[in-house]
Amino acid sequence: MRRPFISANWKMNKTIGETQAFLNEFLPLVRDVKDADIVIAPPFTSLPAAAALMKGSNVSLSSQDIFYEDKGAYTGEVAPGMLTDAGCTHVIIGHSERRQYFKETDEIINKKVKAALKHNLNVIFCIGESLEEREAGKMFDVLKREVEEGLKDIPSDHIVVAYEPIWAIGTGKTATTEQAQEAHKYIRERLAAIYGGAAANIRILYGGSVTPENIDALMACEDVDGALVGGASLKADSFSKLVKFKR
Ligand code: PGA
């Protein structure tokens, strides 16, 4: 059985004070949830304050990005060791917004995944096709390339894959359960081509306009093992409902 994995991706939202207020409300709401991994990825500036409040809780801390060098002249970047020092156990890598706005390539993403694993960080590795790619019938090619290039020469332990169709992110247009299951099944087949039987143990999350209203149906899909949630993770009430999806 794959343990459910529900992660918040706050993107560029919340000050330190807002992060603290969220956690003071959220942590008691999910204290009794024992059967899921719960992760929150605040912006860099909130990481230490979040780590302090999460200590000893059942919620883990993630960053939203990482750089692949250990230190040096890389103005504006954050090294893997700085993230573990700030209390992170997880890192989101390859989010479509980073691929799109910051020109991250499969090669860069692959370097970042390697650097994260070297520092014992668990990786939430994001992939997904654009609407144009889907409509041009290239969805499977894109997913295959992103999996094969992004995970090249990387062991499968400590990797969680997030399938996020770009057309569903922040648009209110969730993939249907059929679309999600089709993509997840295909991704698992690609993972099996690389990792063999171990692919059955890799969690594949769905992301893209997940809400308390649609999560139960998504989680009921055979190959959907969790969710990566943006908008609906910003309120403690809504994100706690997501964590408590129908088992
Ligand atoms: P959304 O974002 O839930 O706001 O669509 C998901 C994501 O980009 O991780």
Burial class (CB in 10 A: 0-12, 13-18, 19+), 237: exposed
Q: Which of 90, 95, 133, 146 is catalytic?
A: 95
18 annotated active-site:
no
Asked if residue 181 has its Cβ within 6 Å of ligand 1, the reply is no
**Per-residue CA distances from 88 to 64, 123, 189, 190, 226 (Å):** 10, 11, 30, 29, 20
Asked if residue 231 has its Cβ within 6 Å of ligand 1, the reply is yes
Distance CA 70, CA 84 (A): 12
Asked if residue 228 has its Cβ within 6 Å of ligand 1, the reply is yes
Side-chain half-sphere exposure of 76, counting CA atoms within 13 A: 0
Confidence (pLDDT) at 1: 82
Asked if residue 210 has its Cβ within 6 Å of ligand 1, the reply is yes
Domains identified in the chain, total number: 1
Which CATH number fits the domain that encloses residue 143?
A: 3.20.20.70
Burial class (CB in 10 A: 0-12, 13-18, 19+), 99: buried
119 annotated active-site:
no
pLDDT, tens digit, 9 for 90 and up, residues 81-137: 999 999 999 999 999 999 999 999 999 999 999 999 999 999 999 999 999 999 999
Quick one: pLDDT band at residue 161, thresholds 50, 70, 90?
very high
State the average pLDDT over residues 37-51: 98
Ligand 1 atom 1 nearest Cα: 230
Distance CA 235, CA 240 (A): 8
Distance CA 83, CA 230 (A): 21
Q: Answer yes or no: are the C-beta atoms of 242 and 6 closer than 8 Å.
A: yes
Burial class (CB in 10 A: 0-12, 13-18, 19+), 95: buried
Ligand 1 atom nearest to CA at 170:
5
Asked if residue 161 has its Cβ within 6 Å of ligand 1, the reply is no
Tell me, in angstroms, the distance from the centre of ligand 1 to residue 11's CA: 9
Vertex 185 angle, CA 109 and 63, to 5°: 30
Tell me, in angstroms, the distance from the centre of ligand 1 to residue 231's CA: 6
Please identify which residue in the block is written with the tokens 């004070």: 17
* All residues at 6 or more sequence positions from 153 whose CB lies less than 8 Å from its CB, including other chains: 110, 114
For the cut 90, the answer to whether the pLDDT of residue 74 exceeds it is: yes
Pocket test for ligand 1, best of 91, 96, 161, 210 (most atoms within 8 A of CB): 210
Confidence (pLDDT) at 207: 98
Asked if residue 173 has its Cβ within 6 Å of ligand 1, the reply is no
Tell me, in angstroms, the distance from the centre of ligand 1 to residue 113's CA: 21
For helices 139-150 and 177-195, the axis angle rounded to 10 degrees is 40
State the average pLDDT over residues 40-60: 98
Q: Which domain holds residue 215?
A: 5-243
Asked if residue 180 has its Cβ within 6 Å of ligand 1, the reply is no
pLDDT, tens digit, 9 for 90 and up, residues 198-224: 999 999 999 999 999 999 999 999 999
Ligand 1 atom 6 nearest Cα: 230
